[in-house]
Amino acid sequence: MNYFVNEKGYYGDFGGAYIPEMLYPNVEELRQNYLKIIGDAEFQKEFHALLKDYVGRPSPLYLAKRLSEKYNANIFLKREDLNHTGAHKINNTIGQILLAEKLGKKRIIAETGAGQHGVATATVCALRGLECVVYMGEIDIQRQAPNVARMKMLGAKVVSAVSGSKTLKDATNEAMRDWINNPVDTHYIIGSVVGPHPYPDMVSIFQSIISEETKKQLIEQTGNDQPDYVLACVGGGSNAMGMFYHFINDENVKLIAIEAGGKGVDTGFSAATTFLGKEGVLHGSRSILMQTADGQVVEPHSVSAGLDYPGIGPQHAHLFKTTRAEYVSVTDDQALNAGLLCTQMEGIIPAIESAHALAHLERMKFKGGENVVVCLSGRGDKDMDTYMKHFGF
Amino acid sequence: MNRINKIFKEKKNNILSIYYTAGYPGLGDTVAIAAALEKAGADMLEIGFPYSDPVADGPVIQASSKLSLDQGMDLDLLFEQLKELRKTVTIPVLLMGYVNPVLQYGVERFCKSCAEVGVDGCIVPDLPMVEYEEFYKDVFLKYGLSNIFLVTPQTSTERIHKIDSLSNGFIYLLSSSATTGQNLQVSDTTEAYFSRIADLKLNNPTMIGFGISSKETFDKACKYANGGIIGTAFVKAIAAGNLDENIEAFMTKFTS
């Protein structure tokens, strides 16, 4: 089974580039150049130098001893929360900013939900001296105020998306509109493994550094580069794709993706795409999305702004359909409780996104001795307000 | 003969096509607007079926789509309404919308429904040429539907020829690479682009759309193409007040 993209831009039944003609030249320019540019030795040298000295990679693979005791397994946390800017998002934005420069682009646009991708984009634009415009849903602007301030301090213009649900989906629409209206000098840094081909492949390649490092670290720490389980949360799915990437063809490794169940998958307030969605087209690719029978996109709900998205990347749709990866969901409350547990047992405050992945450990049954890697995709500083309100601190 | 081919055969220039959103401003206005537009001198109609995430549209058309959806419009209802259309309307009618509602309705079922109610063609901006050619062309042709492709100033000549070879109605030239609702600015660059297209001697006629809002901009469009398409300006004009009066007043500007 091929789990990766084919020459037509598809993962099995999913993917493609469903875009209006106005975006065709931009997307085609990327498609024709991205592999060549990324594969170039100079590019790789510059990319890895920045990952090492600017981002702070490799991120540690930390054996969480107290969580391991609690769950009767070796729980390793891949510490993407320790990256500069506080999440895995920077891996991709470093890659894409270098690519944009090679393509001669002068202006960068991005969309953001929790603000992590927006901050990561604003950061690399400041680093390289490029103009930066970030689209963010009006509601997310309110619930992620510290990240909005960070982006502004970094020199980015933050534009409020006021249509629809005023969250990530609408920010993505606005960013696409901006790109349509500025086709020549602008590069759109998509923050997840969504969008028209080649974005899902390109973003997953940049994020694959997560599993590349994990394999080496597992050899050092366990003597085996194949763990029993790999867990990651999924909104659009970029940290999960990076965490799964180099394990996908290791069929013995069980891949588990954790979606945001919101208030519960049957409550009408959920973002659990594989439970509630059907095949369709959103934001330029054929995937699985939450929609009405008439094909209108349903507004999702999650306590975590970064998972509040009605679709998943096409590669995830393929991994789901082929059952290569298991897709489960946890509720807002389960995630918040898992975040608190991790904080109090390991001294690590996780992003609520990452807490979704941790929450699934509670429901797994281990024999003892299994090696489990959880992608701790981001840190919880940005979520303090939500944690404070929920727990009454 | 498909009504689209017929109109371009009979009237080679100054073809006026009007876009409006189905179910807007009132849910039941779809057919009445078509009839009023034909009476007021429109040569062709594009009826938009609304979508929740219309990335190629500007704020005016997006807002009309949202209101229409909120009022309960969907493709089943639209086809139900359009059953009445051909009792009064004789000019070509196209449906315009995004690919996901069509996929959920079923492409074959969609084309069949179009043919049954007398729709002559479709404009689906996010259905890529390669997907159309591989998966859907035969279905469209089976039901006698024209699929209209968009061309922008950035579209390569090679691609325009490919679009021309796959087209059987007209080619939709965007005045600029932009979402709907921007003003048409005919500069040296756009003039060069329109002239470049004219020089290609395409098999299909061309219509210019996006940014046409006045007689002046419509005349400019007609100078370079077989006609012009008006969307945002019309949708704005029918937002409030008496529908028939608004349509007549709007159309008088272009037909007098």
Contact by Cβ (8 Å): B7, B43 = yes
| B58 vs A34 pLDDT, higher one | A34
- B179 → closest Cβ in A163, A181, A291: A181
B35 burial type by CB count under 10 A (0-12 exposed, 13-18 middle, 19+ buried): middle
CB pair distance less than 8 Å for A281 and B125: no
Q: How confident is the model at residue B238 (pLDDT cuts 50, 70, 90)?
A: very high
Catalytic pick from B29, B38, B43, B46? Answer: B46
Measure CB to CB from residue B149 to each of A21, A164, A291 and give the nearest one.
Answer: A21
The beta-carbon contacts of A139-146 under 8 Å, at least 24 apart in sequence, are: A139/A165, A139/A166, A139/A167, A140/A112, A140/A113, A140/A114, A140/A115, A140/A166, A140/A167, A140/A168, A140/A171, A140/A305, A140/A308, A143/A305, A143/A385, A143/A386, A144/A114, A144/A115, A144/A305, A144/A382, A145/A385, A146/A115, A146/A381, A146/A382
Say what the alpha-carbon torsion angle B103, B104, B106, B111 is, to the nearest 10 degrees. Answer: -70
Rounded CA-CA distance A331/A339 in Å is: 12
CA–CA dist B62, B72 (Å, integer): 15
Q: Does the N-terminal peptide bond of residue A58 adopt cis geometry, omega within 30 degrees of 0?
A: yes
Tally the domains of chain B.
1
Chain mean pLDDT for chain B: 94
Which residues of B are less than 8 Å from A295 in CB distance?
A: 51, 100-105
Q: At the topology level of CATH, where does A18-50+89-203 sit?
A: Rossmann fold (3.40.50)
A309: Cα separation from own chain's centroid: 11
Q: Please check the confidence at residue B179 and state whether its pLDDT lies above 90.
A: no
B128–A18 C-beta distance less than 8 A? yes
The answer to whether A16 touches B131, Cβ cutoff 8 Å, is yes
Contact A183 B154 (CB under 8 A): yes
CB contact under 8 A, B99 and A17: no
A18-50+89-203 and A56-87+208-391: identical CATH topology: yes
Complex-level ipTM beyond the 0.90 threshold: yes
Does the active-site annotation cover A89? Answer: yes
Strands (E) across B141-199 are located at: 146-147, 150-151, 171-174
Q: To the nearest whole angstrom, how far is the Cα of B57 from the nearest Cα of chain A? A: 8
Question: In chain B, which residues have their Cβ closer than 8 Å to the Cβ of A18?
Answer: 99, 126-128, 131
Chain A nearest C-alpha distance from B6 (Å): 27
Residue B159 falls inside a structural domain:
yes
Task: Dump pLDDT digits (tens) for B185-224.
Answer: 767 778 889 889 999 999 999 999 988 889 998 998 999 9
Note the pLDDT of residue A137.
92
> Can you give the residue ranges of every domain in chain A?
18-50+89-203, 56-87+208-391
**Residue B113, domain CATH:** 3.20.20.70
Please report whether residue B173 resides in a domain: yes
Q: What integer pLDDT is reported at residue A167 of this predicted model?
A: 81
Model confidence band, residue B227 (pLDDT cutoffs 50, 70, 90): very high
Contacts 24+ apart (CB under 8 A), B213-216: B213/B183, B213/B184, B214/B253, B215/B253, B215/B254
Helix (H) or strand (E) holding B4: helix B3-10
User: Which chain B residue shows the shortest CA-CA distance from A284?
Assistant: B126
For domain A56-87+208-391, which architecture applies?
3-Layer(aba) Sandwich (3.40)
Q: Which residues of A touch B100 (CB under 8 A)?
A: 280-282, 291, 295, 297
User: Among this protein's residues, is A263 annotated catalytic?
Assistant: no
Instruction: Give the pLDDT mean for B13-28.
Output: 97
Look at residue B7 and tell me if it is in a domain.
no
Q: Pick B53's closest partner by Cβ from A17, A180, A297.
A: A297
Cβ(A352)–Cβ(A336) below 8 Å: yes
Ramachandran bin of B241, using left for φ above 0, alpha for ψ from -120 to 50, beta for the remaining angles:
left
DSSP string, A130-171: -EEEEEEEHHHHHHTHHHHHHHHHTTPEEEEE-STTSSHHHH
Mark the ranges of chain A whose per-residue pLDDT is less than 70.
none
Rounded CA gap, A145 and A43, in Å? 35
The 8-class DSSP code of residue B41 comes to T
* A16-37 residues labelled b (16+ CB within 10 A) or e (exposed): bbbbbbbbbbbbbbbbeebeeb
Which amino acid is present at B148? I
Domain assignment present for residue B84? The answer is yes
Each residue's pLDDT tens digit, B120-133: 999 999 999 999 99
Q: Provide the angle, in degrees to the nearest 10, between the axes of the packed helices A41-50 and A24-39.
A: 90
Q: Band of the pLDDT at B178, cuts 50, 70, 90? A: confident
Name residues whose C-beta falls within 8 Å of residue A267's C-beta, 6 or more positions apart in sequence.
none
Residue B61 lies in a domain: yes
- pLDDT at res. B180: 72
Residue B186 lies in a domain: yes
Contacts of B164 in chain A (CB under 8 A): none
| Cross-strand bridge partners of residue A323 | none
Gap from B33 CA to chain A (nearest CA, Å) = 24
User: Residue B207 domain-assigned?
Assistant: yes
Are the Cβ atoms of A181 and B177 closer than 8 angstroms? Answer: yes
Residue type at A320 in one-letter notation = F
Q: How many CB pairs under 8 A join A and B?
A: 107
Chain B hits for A22, Cβ within 8 Å:
56, 150, 152, 154, 174, 177-179
Domain that holds residue B166: 14-255
Amino acid at A178: D
Q: Which of A188, A172, A226, A195 is nearest to A100 (CA)?
A: A188
Instruction: Write down the residue that tokens 């213009």 correspond to.
Output: A157
The total of other beta-carbon atoms located within 10 Å of residue A48's CB is 13
> Predicted confidence band at B234 (pLDDT cuts at 50, 70, 90)?
very high
Mutation target vs B (from A13, A14, A22, A287; most B CBs, 10 A cutoff): A22
**Chain-chain contact of B174 with A291 (C-beta, under 8 angstroms):** no
Tell whether B170 is covered by a domain: yes
